[in-house]
Amino acid sequence: MVLKGTEFYNSEKGLHQYIESKNVADEANSTLEKPYIMNLAGDVLQKRILDLGCGDGELGNRFLENNSDGYYCGIDASKKMVEMAREKLPANATLKQCNIEDCWENEPWSSKAFDIVISSMALHYIHDLNKVMGKIHRVLKDEGTFIFSVEHPVITSNYESSEGNEDHGSWLVDNYFTEGERQTYWLGTNILKYHRSLETYFSLLINNGFLIDDVKEGKPVRERFMYEHNYEQRLKKPMYLIIKCKKKGGRAA
């Protein structure tokens, strides 16, 4: 059985495994991904932020810290994740349980409602990313910021390398230009993700009216690691693709 992202994070087993995987020294997201997301987001004081695939509210918590005039709306398809986020986040956070692919039509958001749209490690679960990027463009103010992270295309191209390769030291890039569904055995479950090439991520952004501001690949920084061998391990291949872009002003919504 292969689970979609939404099903995995809503299952007792999936959620348990996911939370356990976070509690290890030098965990990948906390060392290679979240620091870049936070740096790229910069000053969020009084900003209106939409977080797509907010999970347990980790980013929301950081954004609302000392920012009581900010507005934060987190969206996640997993009921369990939204419940966890509710417990973690301050009362002024808005949370909605809905799917990123079809949450837009029934929402009261006018166009140009948000200063920042952020999505950390959720968009590689999305089938129609072109449609979602169009919706993101609509809800952003002119010059508004869109920041997202996904598994790096080098990783999503071919998961076979992870099998029987516990330390994931090397990785075989294969079928790179054959985009679409990928099945991977992750945290004890077969799960469905989507592979897109670098070129496709950039084309989707450009064609939907975004200007690229910055790109990161989760390059390890020694000071963020407790152990030297974990740092050296992470120098071997890029785990994440993290892009910051801006809505081009003046485009019809």
User: Least distance (Å) from ligand SAM to the CB of residue 35?
Assistant: 12
Among 64, 73, 113, 121, binds ligand SAM (CB under 6 A): 121
125 belongs to the binding site for ligand SAM (CB under 6 A): yes
* Residue 104 interacts with ligand SAM (CB under 6 A): yes or no: no
Is 101 a binder of ligand SAM (CB under 6 A)? yes
Task: Using the minimum distance from each CB to ligand SAM, give the nearer residue, 17 or 197.
Answer: 17
Q: Which is nearer to ligand SAM, 118 or 140 (CB)?
A: 118
Q: Does 114 bind ligand SAM (CB under 6 A)?
A: no
Q: Which CB, 5 or 209, lies closer to ligand SAM?
A: 5
In the complex, minimum distance from the CB of residue 249 to ligand SAM, in angstroms, rounded to a whole number: 28
**Distance, CA of 220 to CA of 233 (rounded, Å):** 9
Sites for ligand SAM among residues 131-170 (CB under 6 A): none
Q: Does 32 bind ligand SAM (CB under 6 A)?
A: no
By CB under 6 A, tell whether 11 contacts ligand SAM. Answer: no
Question: CB of residue 223 vs ligand SAM: minimum separation in angstroms?
Answer: 21
Residue 77 within binding range of ligand SAM, rule CB under 6 A: yes
